[in-house]
A and B are shown apart, each in its own frame.
Chain A
């Protein structure tokens, strides 16, 4: 614990980023009303109150994805995480939350911790999650029942683990893109953006 206070290692960074995704995805699902709000419970994280799902199916799914993601973050083989929101009826992609992950692969060789405090990283993460919360104000209302999917962009040479499948990128045609804040653990840098279907025509 003392070492993490001073700096950050690759392992700690992977854990932090994976944790961010877990909270970020939960926040999106809650804020965008993909899941009923009564299936969420309030927790305090990053000095702010956040919503975590209590739906067992969803919890298992997210735990699966996040633990796998953590491994990939540790291996520095992950490039992007994308949350795709599709219309349940037409399968049309309505929203696409993209998190570009830039890994500093030199951290794999040198195990020396980087000089960045957890506190300042969490400060950055907090601002990203705040922006996710604030995005409700400009994103078009999801009027139909929606489902979501998580896409992970990995390095080409990565061996596909069990239960994982290759997928298409699920791009929205005629989309509007809004860039959100980014944060960096000095090993992983995460850029966030949200793309949504333009509704003005």
Chain B
């Protein structure tokens, strides 16, 4: 029978769904029975080695919660319990109960010493020394600082940005000229104006006693005229705005007017007593500046061409420019003065008094340029002893900016494509500088000429400039070509407006 009993046992174990008869008691059963025993019977009887006068709760959680005052919660001791908490020791019951019970009790360590030590440590780390032992003093008043407007030289030295290239990353300014033309026999005279570019894209260059025209679209060169007498030379050339007539001032004190298409002289106007070094057109009025210091207005339509005289300069007039709106004439002379003259009134004999006289330049003023997009802005540049470029507001008569260009300024021109100011220089750098307007920060420097640059002129589309220099070359610089994308958009705009006009006409 015994083997039967064994078989039964094996069977029941394998079935797993029946209580194991002779297995050890489950934990909860043991707990329940022990707590029942403890509560009913004398504890000392059950654990004879233990102290009899221990409190009930102590015996239940023996010595696990030190410093407990008896008011702590104890582990649920209900027999059986309706909850099953599988793992207890992970919860760190003793720590938790200790914290719970001790939370509200005052700290037994000495608080004052601790906080003092803490404060000391803090003070040392915060102040770099113990404040208890030191006073930090400083002389009253504001902290000292350098005078207003001072900039750290080291900053200037070390954070120097190389010539800020134009903000347009796509623009490339070639440092070599697009084209070099020979200009033999060119007179190396600072006071003459020997270069001008017409609206018809003809570049007029005066070489000693002859005027040559270079067709910028085709590249042909035409000899327009030659002075009659051997000893005479040409001092200035200037195109009328329309581009069909060229005015030529000579050392014979005459101003000649040439029709370019027929290559014929229209008239020769004599009124000056010295060579005519500067010319400027304002519609039908041609103004000429002479070495005598006088500026004559010529009305080229009438027989009696000399309509008025402007007297102000005491020495040679080498710079002469009408403002684009024709309201003012700016003149610069070897006497270091810049005069601003009012426009010509019909019928008045004398040209009237100057609107402004600027005496700030300390050298001959040959370079003059009116801003095409701001009609009241004039730029002027002084000679070797001055070297400054000054920007003037003609309305107020004030100098807006002055910049030391560090070399003789021979010509100035505004380049509207990128709103820049170009200057050509003689001694000491013999170069051409493109500056942003109005900030006057350098955009590019064009070094190529081997002698001082005498004149500079812009092409009619403002994309190219021509310079003539003492090295007897004319150089063409394509520095202001518009972005092809931008240009296309511009063209398209022009086209579309054209078509609108066309439609409206139809």
Which A residues form the contact surface with B (CB < 8 A)? Answer: 32-37, 55, 57-58, 61, 64-65, 68, 79-80, 84, 86, 88, 98, 136, 141-143, 145-156, 158, 160, 163-169, 171
Residues of B within 8 A of A55 (CB): 147
Interface string of B99-110 (1 = CB under 8 A from A): 000000000000
Q: Given A136-B154, A154-B134, A167-B137, 4 other A-B contacts at CB below 8 A?
A: A34-B152, A55-B147, A143-B152, A153-B137
| B119 → chain A closest CB, angstroms | 15
Using A36-B153, A149-B144 as known contacts, say yes or no to A160 and B135 having CB atoms under 8 A apart: yes
Query: Does A156 lie within 8 Å of B139, measured CB to CB?
Result: no
CA distance A65 to B140 in the complex (A): 11
Task: Assess whether B155 is interfacial by the CB under 8 Å rule.
Answer: yes
Verify A145–B137 contact, CB threshold 8 A.
no
Interface centre among A33, A37, A57, A148 (most CB of B within 10 A): A33
| A164–B140 CB distance below 8 A | yes
Residue B145 interfacial (CB < 8 Å): yes
Q: CB < 8 Å: which of B138, B147, B151, B153 contacts A149? A: B138
Instruction: Select A64's contact among B127, B137, B139, B150, beta carbons within 8 Å.
Output: B139
Instruction: Select the residue from A64, A88, A142, A165 with max chain B CB neighbours within 10 A.
Output: A165
Q: Which listed residue, B126, B141, B142, B154, touches A142 by the CB 8 Å rule? A: B154
* Contacts known (A146-B145, A171-B128); A152 close to B155, Cβ less than 8 A: no
Cα–Cα distance between A157 and B270 once the two chains are bound (Å): 98
**Closest CB-CB distance, B404 to chain A, in whole Å?**
18
B155 near A143: Cβ-Cβ < 8 Å: yes
Known: A98-B128, A142-B154, A143-B159. Is A160-B137 also a contact (CB below 8 A)? yes
**A171–B127 touching, CB < 8 Å:** yes
Contact of A80 among B134, B143, B146, B159 (CB under 8 A): B134
Q: Could you tell me the distance between the alpha carbons of A84 and B134 in the complex, rounded to whole angstroms?
A: 18
A35, A57, A88: residue with the most chain B Cβ atoms closer than 10 Å: A35
0 or 1 for each of B141-170: is its CB under 8 Å from A? (1 = yes): 111111100111111001100000000000
Q: Does B136 contact A (CB under 8 A)?
A: yes
Query: Contact at B139–A61, with CB atoms within 8 Å?
Result: yes
Interfacial chain B residues near A164, Cβ < 8 Å: 137-140
Minimum Cβ distance to chain A for residue B138 (Å) = 4
Q: List 5 A-B contacts (CB under 8 A).
A: A34-B146, A84-B143, A149-B144, A168-B136, A171-B126
Q: Which residue of B lies closest to A79 (CB)?
A: B134
The answer to whether A79 and B144 touch across the interface, beta carbons within 8 angstroms, is no
B220 within 8 A of A: no
Of B128, B135, B147, B151, most buried by chain A (CB within 10 Å of CB) is B135
B133 interface contact, C-beta 8 A: yes
* Cβ contact within 8 Å between A167 and B138: yes
A36-B144 CB under 8 A given contacts A141-B159, A149-B138: no
The answer on a CB contact under 8 Å between B135 and A155 is: yes
Q: Which residues of A contact B136 (CB under 8 A)?
A: 151-153, 166-169
Indicate if B132 sits at the interface (CB-CB under 8 A).
yes
B181 within 8 A of A: no
Given A33-B152, A36-B146, A148-B144, check contact A156 B127 (CB 8 Å). Answer: no
Q: Collect the chain A residues with CB atoms within 8 Å of residue B128's CB.
A: 98, 169, 171
A156 CB contact (under 8 Å) in B132, B140, B154:
B132
Size of interface on B: residues with Cβ below 8 Å to A? 28
Chain A residue contacts of B159, Cβ below 8 A: 141, 143
Q: Which residues of A contact B141 (CB under 8 A)?
A: 163
**Within the assembled complex, what's the spacing in Å between the Cα atoms of A148 and B142?**
10
CA distance A113 to B323 in the complex (A): 85
B36 within 8 A of A: no
Report chain A residues within 8 Å CB of B138.
Answer: 149-152, 164-165, 167
A57 near B144 with CB under 8 A, answer yes
CA distance A83 to B135 in the complex (A): 16
Q: Which residues of A contact B133 (CB under 8 A)?
A: 79, 155-156
A136 CA / B143 CA spacing, docked (Å) = 22
Q: Which residue of B lies closest to A158 (CB)?
A: B135
Most buried by A among B127, B140, B143, B150: B143
Contacts of B494 in A (CB 8 A): none
Complex partner residue of A33 from B145, B147, B155, CB under 8 angstroms: B155
Contact A142 B146 (CB under 8 A): no
Binary contact track B311-343/A, C-beta < 8 Å → 1, others 0: 000000000000000000000000000000000
Is B129 positioned at the interface, with any CB of A under 8 Å from its CB? yes
Residue contact A147 to B144, C-beta cutoff 8 Å: yes
Q: Which residues of A contact B146 (CB under 8 A)?
A: 34-36, 145-147
Asked if residues B153 and A33 are in contact (CB atoms below 8 Å), the reply is yes
Task: Tell me how far the C-beta of A57 lies from the nearest C-beta in chain B, rounded to whole angstroms.
Answer: 7
In the complex, the answer to whether A88 meets B145 with C-beta atoms within 8 Å is: yes
Cα of A150 to Cα of B138 in the assembled complex, Å = 6
B-side contacts of A165, CB under 8 Å: 137-140
A132 to chain B, nearest CB (A): 15
- Residues on B with C-beta less than 8 A from A57 are 144
Q: Nearest A residue to B149 by beta-carbon distance?
A: A145
- Counting from the closest, the 8 A-B pairs by CB-CB distance are A147-B145, A33-B152, A149-B143, A147-B143, A169-B127, A167-B138, A153-B134, A33-B154
In angstroms, Cα B150 to Cα A151, docked, is 24
Provide the residues of chain B in CB contact with A32, threshold 8 Å.
154
Contact status B143-A148, CB under 8 Å:
yes
Q: Which of A141, A150, A166 contacts B154 (CB 8 A)?
A: A141
Q: Which residues of A contact B137 (CB under 8 A)?
A: 151-154, 160, 164-167
Which residue of chain B has the shortest Cβ distance to A161 in the bound complex?
A: B137
Partner of B140, one of A36, A145, A158, A163: A163
The CA of A150 and the CA of B137, in the complex, are separated in Å by 8
> Which of chain B's residues have a CB closer than 8 A to the CB of A33?
152-155
Contacts of B145 in A (CB 8 A): 34, 88, 145-148
